[in-house]
Structure 1
């Protein structure tokens, strides 16, 4: 267990974990499910539905990855952020520990904090006719950029600074995008298997996601406290 927690010092593993927490946030997860449910409800051709799902997933992965990539490129070229990069290099362990604790607490108490809740309805999508693979791709792109309050912290306060301060930082946004897309792929597979049970699946996911988020929050909190204790009590003795 200790070796596993210590391995989280790898930026790749940290970013991969962040991506999973990013998409498992109830706001983000239900927004994606609502969009997936909408692009499938008006079709009688299963092949067309599957094609739309694929383009939706691709749109989500490409857009979120490129968005992070562009931000990292811009920030790496910024003189102002050079100080940020130096700060992260000097206090990376402490900063990550504090962020992990904060994110853990936010995830655990997300249902009690009204400012973390954003309602998403398919009525917003229904103003547009989603009836082509291109529009499904664009819908996936738009959904990927809907950053709920908790995810704003994950993306801009952790992912971007971590990527800027990493040698291989340009690849981290795509790893983040990939890990945040994997659960959506699982949702898509379930949707394909049972296109007639979208409403039931939506309600089930709503219940399950709350427990998953709290468990993820607990993991983040424990890892953050472990890193914090290790930094404060053992770091300066080396």
Structure 2
């Protein structure tokens, strides 16, 4: 199943990877396009589809989730920036040992998506102040911390493709460039491009809160459909990465 996901990823990312290689003399553009390639890596594909489903659903049901998307992207920026700093400080020995830890971090993502899917379906209910992905009626009270942590955790879902893109392809350019510290956060922004494009299209087409205007029942149907998709993605992700 992982091989199938890798083949799909290769087809989607090949044009962007070729573009990135042709732009290596412009490090910032190179890092941005390489991040877009990373967004299509096998280990990032299901996570990015999940983020699009989650924040797209919020935007259509209530209002454009710019704040949530911003904190989600910020989580990505922090994750990749910290990884870049660690490699720079600790050197190649640390870089070579990182693959020992990432597979376990990657395996957490599938169960997390299953949990979110069950929550959106109303099967799991949370009480108290904990609201990791709480879809409450009072949208304005949602904590941006949950979106930040989601972006952070999704960014640590590394696989061989993502490892090569970030550590083998990007980091040498980071270390050789006088403004290399900008490149890891630029790479992070590239990984968020698919989500940003979808939310922008919803905003541009005037889709903000369209479901709320047409009734809560339809909104609940959309939420349930999003929950089913998240659940299926979580099951697919778990089966794929727990079997490796």
Q: How high is the TM-score relative to the length of structure 2?
A: 0.51
Higher helix share: 1
Counterpart residue number, 2:41: 25
Query: Counterparts in 2 of 1:1-238, with a 5 A limit?
Result: 7-38=23-54, 46-47=62-63, 50=64, 53-78=65-90, 80-81=91-92, 120=110, 122-125=113-116, 126=119, 129=131, 130-131=133-134, 132-134=142-144, 135-190=146-201, 193=207
Does the Cα contact within 8 Å between 1:27 and 1:119 map onto a contact in 2?
no
Q: CA deviation at 1:32?
A: 2.2
Distance in 1, Cα, partners of 2:87 & 2:47: 29
Does the Cα contact within 8 Å between 1:55 and 1:137 map onto a contact in 2?
no
Structure 1: which 5+ residue stretches go unaligned?
85-117, 207-238
Q: CA deviation at 1:177?
A: 1.4
Structure 2: which 5+ residue stretches go unaligned?
1-19, 96-107, 135-141, 212-218, 234-244
Once the two structures are superposed, residues 170-225 of structure 1 have per-residue CA deviations (whole angstroms, 9 ceiling, x without a partner) of 0001111122222211122345637777869x7xxx9xxxxxxxxxxxxxxxxxxx
Q: How high is the TM-score relative to the length of structure 1?
A: 0.52
RMSD: 4.2
Does the Cα contact within 8 Å between 2:109 and 2:157 map onto a contact in 1?
no
Distance in 1, Cα, partners of 2:200 & 2:80: 27
